[in-house]
Copies of this chain bind each other. A is one copy, B any other.
Amino acid sequence: MKMSQGVEWAVHTLLALAWVDDGKPVPTARLAASHELPPAYLNKQLQSLVKAGLLESLPGARGGFRLARRAGDITLMDVVTAIEGPAPAFQCTEIRRRGMGASAPDSCFRTACAVNASMQRAELAWRQALAAQTLEDVRAEADRHAPAMAGVARQAYGRE
């Protein structure tokens, strides 16, 4: 039950791009340097964000990545799904049917597995909590506690 490291990188990178805000793309090398991350691996993660429609990539010289939507339209759920994939954390393998379950009447399996249902309810709460928080919200909280960071980010990307 460990979340991929890429999620943390992705959110921080998206946050930095939200701080820059202008339409100009930022190349992987700068994004990686701004958090001391391995550039090639960060690039791999960013490609997942492009496929998910969170980032736009511009090839060629002066290319790079920029937000594909407004920060308010990107939820943390979007980011987690983009990196981790859409599969639920708890995967029911229907072991209730195996072993002693094989000798139980079919009527026992008309409805979904109760164990799975309980776990999915909890997971739904998690997903809803993630979907309720946008990148804009995260930015607002960061700006409230550390208003200097937005300027630091813009400076790191040569914007001012």
User: Interface SS of chain A: helix, strand, loop or mixed?
Assistant: helix
CB–CB A8/B93 < 8 A: yes
A34 CB, min distance to chain B CBs, angstroms = 4
Task: Please provide the 4 A-B residue pairs with the shortest distance between their CB atoms, ordered closest to farther.
Answer: A108-B146, A126-B126, A122-B129, A100-B156
Given the known A-B contacts A76-B118, A100-B152, are A89 and B142 also in contact in the complex, defined by CB atoms under 8 Å?
A: no
A135 CB, min distance to chain B CBs, angstroms = 10
A46 at the interface (CB under 8 A from B): no
Interface flags for A86-107 (1: CB within 8 Å of B; 0: not) read 0101111101101111011101
- Write out the residue numbers on chain B whose beta carbons fall within 8 Å of the beta carbon of A84: 1
Given the known A-B contacts A122-B76, A126-B123, are A146 and B109 also in contact in the complex, defined by CB atoms under 8 Å?
A: yes
Across the interface, A125 reaches (CB within 8 A) one of B35, B76, B119, B126, namely B126
- Write out the residue numbers on chain B whose beta carbons fall within 8 Å of the beta carbon of A108: 145-146, 148-149
A138 at the interface (CB under 8 A from B): yes
Measured in the bound complex, the distance between the Cα atoms of B137 and A121 in whole Å is 13
A22 at the interface (CB under 8 A from B): no
CB–CB A118/B141 < 8 A: yes
Chain A positions 44-61 with a Cβ under 8 Å from a chain B Cβ: none
Across the interface, A95 reaches (CB within 8 A) one of B1, B35, B109, B111, namely B35
Listed by A's residue number, 13 A-B pairs whose Cβ atoms lie within 8 Å are A1-B4, A1-B85, A5-B93, A8-B93, A12-B95, A35-B95, A35-B99, A37-B95, A111-B145, A114-B141, A117-B141, A118-B137, A121-B133
